[in-house]
Structure 1
Amino acid sequence: MKLTMPRFDQAQVLVVGDVMLDRYWHGGTNRISPEAPVPVVKVSQVEDRPGGAANVALNIAALGAGASLSGIVGKDDEAEVLATRMQAAQVHCNFQQAESEPTITKLRVISRHQQLLRMDFEEAFSASAADGLSDKAKAMLPAMGALILSDYAKGALLDPQPLIQAAKALNIPVLVDPKGTDFSRYRGATLLTPNLHEFETIVGHCVNEQQLVAKGEQLMAEHDLQALLITRGEHGMTLLRPNEQELHLPARAREVFDVTGAGDTVISVLAASLAAGEPMPQAVALANLAAGIVVGKLGTAVISAPELRRAINNEQGSERGMLSLEQLQIALQDARAHGEKVVFTNGCFDILHPGHAGYLEQAKELGDRLVVAVNGDASITRLKGPGRPINPVESRMSLLSKLESVDWVIPFEEDTPEKLLEVLKPDILAKGGDYDKEGVVGWQIVEAYGGEVKVLSLFDSCSTTSIVEKVLEKNR
Structure 2
Amino acid sequence: MLNEFPPFQQARVLVVGDVMLDRYWRGSAARISPEAPVPIVKVAGSEDRPGGAANVALNIAVLGAAASIAGIAGRDEAGIELTGKLEAAGVLCRMVQSENAPTITKLRIISQQQQLIRIDFEDDFDADDITLLQQQALKSVSDNGALVLSDYGKGTLADTQSLIRAAHDSQIPVVVDPKGSDFSKYAGATVLTPNLAEFEAVAGVCSDEEELIRKGQQWRERLQLSALLITRGEKGMTLLQGSRPALHLPAQAREVYDVTGAGDTVVAVLAASLAAGQSMEQAVVLANLAAGLAVARLGTAAISGPELRRALQQMQGSGRGVMSAEQLLMSVADAREQGERVVFTNGCFDIIHAGHVGYLAEAKSLGDRLIVAVNGDESVRRLKGASRPINPVERRMAVLAGLEAVDWVVSFDDDTPEALLEALRPDVLVKGGDYRPDQVVGGQFVADYGGEVRVLAFLDNCSTSAIVEKVRQS
Distance 2:314 2:77 in 1: 43
Matched residue, 1:61? 61
* TM-fit CA distance, 1:129: 2.4
Distance 2:139 2:185 in 1: 21
Q: Secondary structure at the match of 1:239?
A: strand
Matched residue, 1:4? 4
Which ranges of structure 1 fall in alignment gaps of 5 or more residues? 322-397, 403-476
- Asked if the contact 2:100/2:126 (under 8 Å) is kept, the reply is no
Matched residue, 2:101? 101
Spell out the pairing of 1:37-436 with structure 2 (5 A cutoff).
37-317=37-317
Q: Secondary structure at the match of 1:107?
A: strand
- Counterpart AA for 1:30: A
Compare 127-136 and 154-163 and name the one that shifted more.
Answer: 127-136
CA RMSD between the two structures: 1.8
- Asked if the contact 2:12/2:146 (under 8 Å) is kept, the reply is yes
Distance 1:144 1:159 in 2: 19
* TM-fit CA distance, 1:28: 1.4
Distance 2:243 2:236 in 1: 22
Compare 145-154 and 42-51 and name the one that shifted more.
Answer: 42-51
Matched residue, 1:462? none
Distance 1:192 1:178 in 2: 7
* TM-fit CA distance, 1:127: 2.6
Distance 1:276 1:174 in 2: 14
- Asked if the contact 1:52/1:264 (under 8 Å) is kept, the reply is yes
Structure 1 stretches of at least 4 aligned residues deviating more than 3 Å after TM superposition? 318-321
Distance 1:37 1:190, change over 3 A: same
Deviations 1:432-474 (A, max 9, x none): xxxxxxxxxxxxxxxxxxxxxxxxxxxxxxxxxxxxxxxxxxx
- Asked if the contact 2:105/2:120 (under 8 Å) is kept, the reply is yes
Deviations 1:367-402 (A, max 9, x none): xxxxxxxxxxxxxxxxxxxxxxxxxxxxxxx99x99
- Counterpart AA for 1:92: L
* TM-fit CA distance, 1:232: 0.3
Distance 2:187 2:233 in 1: 26
Which ranges of structure 2 fall in alignment gaps of 5 or more residues? 322-397, 403-474
Q: Secondary structure at the match of 1:132?
A: helix
* TM-fit CA distance, 1:2: 3.4
Work out whether 1:14 is the aligned partner of 2:28.
no
Distance 1:311 1:319, change over 3 A: closer
- Asked if the contact 2:27/2:42 (under 8 Å) is kept, the reply is yes
- Asked if the contact 2:72/2:95 (under 8 Å) is kept, the reply is yes
- Counterpart AA for 2:169: A
- Counterpart AA for 1:122: E
- Asked if the contact 2:262/2:294 (under 8 Å) is kept, the reply is yes
- Asked if the contact 1:4/1:312 (under 8 Å) is kept, the reply is no
- Asked if the contact 2:16/2:137 (under 8 Å) is kept, the reply is yes
- Asked if the contact 2:313/2:319 (under 8 Å) is kept, the reply is no
* TM-fit CA distance, 1:307: 1.1
* TM-fit CA distance, 1:124: 2.8
* TM-fit CA distance, 1:128: 2.7
TM-score (norm 1): 0.66
Distance 1:127 1:210 in 2: 43
Q: Secondary structure at the match of 1:176?
A: strand
Deviations 1:24-68 (A, max 9, x none): 111112211111111111111121111000000000000000000
* TM-fit CA distance, 1:3: 4.3
* TM-fit CA distance, 1:319: 11
Q: Secondary structure at the match of 1:288?
A: helix
Compare 226-235 and 139-148 and name the one that shifted more.
Answer: 139-148
Distance 1:218 1:320, change over 3 A: farther
* TM-fit CA distance, 1:221: 1.3
- Asked if the contact 1:176/1:192 (under 8 Å) is kept, the reply is yes
Distance 1:164 1:158 in 2: 12
Distance 1:9 1:64 in 2: 5
- Counterpart AA for 2:163: L
Distance 1:320 1:236, change over 3 A: farther
- Counterpart AA for 1:71: G
Q: Secondary structure at the match of 2:285?
A: helix
Distance 1:245 1:57 in 2: 31
Q: Secondary structure at the match of 1:317?
A: coil
* TM-fit CA distance, 1:192: 0.2
Matched residue, 1:23? 23
- Asked if the contact 2:100/2:125 (under 8 Å) is kept, the reply is no
Deviations 1:43-101 (A, max 9, x none): 11121111000000000000000000000011111110011101100100000122211
* TM-fit CA distance, 1:141: 1.5
* TM-fit CA distance, 1:318: 7.1
Deviations 1:95-129 (A, max 9, x none): 01222111100000011211111000111324332
* TM-fit CA distance, 1:4: 2.6
- Asked if the contact 2:289/2:311 (under 8 Å) is kept, the reply is yes
* TM-fit CA distance, 1:140: 1.2
* TM-fit CA distance, 1:209: 1.0
* TM-fit CA distance, 1:320: 12
Distance 2:94 2:150 in 1: 15
- Counterpart AA for 2:212: L
Deviations 1:418-442 (A, max 9, x none): xxxxxxxxxxxxxxxxxxxxxxxxx
- Asked if the contact 1:13/1:145 (under 8 Å) is kept, the reply is yes
Distance 2:254 2:4 in 1: 22
Deviations 1:285-304 (A, max 9, x none): 00000000000000011111
Deviations 1:233-276 (A, max 9, x none): 01000000112111100010000000000000001000000000
Distance 2:260 2:220 in 1: 27
TM-score (norm 2): 0.67
* TM-fit CA distance, 1:222: 1.1
Distance 2:297 2:319 in 1: 26
* TM-fit CA distance, 1:220: 1.2
Kindly tell me the number of residue pairs found equivalent between the two proteins: 325
